[in-house]
Amino acid sequence: MFPMGSSVKISAVIITFNEEKNIGQCLDSLVGLADEIIVVDSFSTDGTEDICLGRGVFFMCNRFTGHVEQKNYAMGKAKYDHILSLDADEVLSNELKESIGRVKSNWQYNAYSFNRLTNYCGKWIRHCGWYPDKKIRLWDRQRGRWGGTNPHDRVIMADGTKIFHLSGDLFHYSYASIKDHVAQMNSFSEIAAKEAFHTGRKASLLIDILLNPPLTFLKKYFIKLGILDGYYGFVISIHSAYGKFLKYIKLMDIHKNKAEIKTNPEN
């Protein structure tokens, strides 16, 4: 038996940018669970703000400097210490909502994790290394905060943290079309390349550009059983490989351009 915990209030925190297609169902899944909902927006130009205000959430804008930075900024605006952080394209399943409801009335741990199930072009992906995609998204902010390397942020808890895994899936409506995936892959590879450059990372033509992409495909499609996800499993595995190629070719290009500027300071 676990020791009895205490009842807590939960602040749901979301960051957005042009999320009018997704934010409504995300917010609706929080009704009856979150004691406050905070949306920090990066100056959207679509209907994101109107949808949020129409649902009575606390909405504010802040200049985006990175996923980690924006999520920590949003967390800092919460009234309560117990944070439930979602992306705008994520929705709590009924089972997960019930699990979090029980935790809310009997909080025992420093953080709670749960699985994320991704919907890709209308198909739920259960392989390719995409599921179970365990995430910590419910935690005491006195014990943890957002970290990682942009754009791949993650919650980092303090040493000695007690974490419990909840039943129920977080539904992730990632890409409505292959075109959306390609666009995000191009954007994220740009961010990842710049982050790698700032840490002093260099790209190897042999290892990173020639070998890494095909090995990534083999891992996703065969070892991680993407083949069982049918057509979209193949597409995801190919895109994962291409994303690696883009990241490292862009990193190599950044180093090349910096070297040219040093060689030709007048240009």
Instruction: Encode pLDDT of 110-134 as tens digits.
Output: 999 999 999 999 999 999 999 999 9
Residue 195 CB contacts under 8 Å (≥ 6 apart), including other chains: 149, 150
pLDDT score of 262: 66
Query: Could you read off the pLDDT of 173-190 as tens digits, one per residue?
Result: 999 999 999 999 999 999
Q: Return the pLDDT at 5.
A: 83
Q: At residue 11, what are phi and psi to the nearest 5 degrees? A: -100, 120
For residue 215, what pLDDT is reported? Answer: 98
**pLDDT value, residue 265:** 57
Whether 106 has a pLDDT exceeding 60, the answer reads: yes
* Residue scoring higher pLDDT (136 or 5): 136
Q: What pLDDT does 96 receive?
A: 98
DSSP-derived 3-state class of residue 72: helix
Question: Where along the chain do the CATH 3.90.550.10 domains lie?
Answer: 10-175
Band (3; pLDDT cuts 50, 70, 90): very low
CA separation, residue 267 to residues 115, 194, 259 (Å)? 51, 22, 12
pLDDT beyond 50 at 192 = yes
Q: CA 113, CA 173: separation in Å to the nearest integer?
A: 19
Quick one: what percent of the chain has pLDDT higher than 90?
94
d(CA 58, CA 17): 15
Q: What is the domain class of 10-175 according to CATH?
A: alpha beta
Q: Distance between CA atoms of 93 and 175, rounded to whole angstroms?
A: 18
The reported pLDDT for the residue numbered 2 is 40
Dihedral sign of CA atoms 62, 120, 115, 191 in order:
negative
Q: What pTM value is reported for the model?
A: 0.93
Confidence of residue 259 (pLDDT cuts 50, 70, 90): confident
The residues, any chain, with a CB within 8 Å of residue 119's CB and separated by 6 or more, are: 125, 171, 172, 173, 174
Alpha helix ranges (H) inside the chain: 23-28, 48-54, 67-76, 94-105, 178-198, 212-218, 230-263
Band of residue 226 on the pLDDT scale cut at 50, 70, 90: very high
d(CA 100, CA 57): 20
Residue 228 — φ and ψ, nearest 5°? -75, -10
- The alpha carbon of residue 135 and the mean position of all alpha carbons in its chain are separated, in whole angstroms, by 9
